[in-house]
Amino acid sequence: MSPELKDLDKLMNCRFSCRGFLTKAVEQKFIDQIIETAQKVPSWCNSQPWQVILLRQETRELLSEKLVYSADQAFETPDIDFPKRYAGVYKTRRSTCGWQLYNAVGVQKGDREGASQQMAKNYEFFGAPHVAIITTPKDLGAYGVLDCGAFITAFTLAAAAIGVSSIPQAAIAGRAPIVREVLNIEEDRDVLCAISFGFADKDNPANSFRTQRADLDEFVEWV
């Protein structure tokens, strides 16, 4: 492995989805650096379709309050349809990472209340001091979403490179009308997800596990 690939692989290994943050803020110059690095990803026609809405403390608290208030409404109203179903290997992988989280935080099988309380922590942004809401132009369709996905991944990696932990949260997109109203998002854009970020609370049990990846022969084909 070249030293560059080793460095990248190390960075990829140290990133994880953080679900418990310290209150300590990240200096704005570091937030700018994360975004400047993340925006170097490729996008179709270099359209750079991501719009990044950074929430100030009061806005974050207001949005969180409204999301928490809506938490007992089971139905989701995302701008972009959520997955129809997870079947086969996708179902297995989803269940495995879900149980890793539940085992870490002590939610037992059948404990629906515990599971929904853990889910509701999404609406408190897991205590993160910073939240970025990512939107994409409706006109660019699936390829705009694809480009934004690249940006989101690069954001999490750039953050990890300077010791800042993060988590992309599609859960927030399930309440898109609330996000749109609070943040005054134009109708021609879709709410994709939040990225909550800050410094990881290493003692939080939700941060105590790491997910696995499939072997190459499960998903790589030479034809």
Ligand X SMILES: Cc1cc2nc3c(=O)[nH]c(=O)nc-3n(C[C@H](O)[C@H](O)[C@H](O)COP(=O)(O)O)c2cc1C
Q: Which residues bind ligand X (CB under 6 A)?
A: 16-17, 19, 97, 122, 167-171, 193, 211
Residue number with CB closer to ligand X (35 or 194): 194
Residue number with CB closer to ligand X (19 or 60): 19
- Min separation Cβ 114 and ligand X, Å: 15
Let me know: does 62 contact 85? Beta carbons within 8 Å: no
Long-range contacts, 59-62 (Cβ 8 Å, 24+): 59/182, 59/183, 60/125, 60/130, 60/131, 62/182
DSSP character for 208? S
Residue where the block lists tokens 């515990």: 114
Shortest CA distance to 214 belongs to which of 38, 82, 72, 92? Answer: 92
Q: Is 71 helix (H, G, I), strand (E, B) or coil?
A: coil
- Min separation Cβ 36 and ligand X, Å: 21
Residue number with CB closer to ligand X (62 or 97): 97
Residue number with CB closer to ligand X (157 or 193): 193
- Min separation Cβ 19 and ligand X, Å: 6
- Min separation Cβ 206 and ligand X, Å: 9
The Cβ of residue 100 has, within 10 Å, a number of other Cβ atoms equal to: 15
Cα(195)–Cα(170) distance, rounded to whole angstroms?
9
Residue number with CB closer to ligand X (135 or 169): 169
- Min separation Cβ 44 and ligand X, Å: 19
DSSP character for 125? G
Contacts (Cβ under 8 Å, ≥6 apart) of 136: 49, 50, 51, 144, 145, 147, 148, 189, 190, 192
Residue nearest to ligand X (CB): 171
- Min separation Cβ 173 and ligand X, Å: 8
User: Could you tell me how far CA 40 lies from the centroid of its own chain?
Assistant: 19
Residue number with CB closer to ligand X (101 or 185): 101
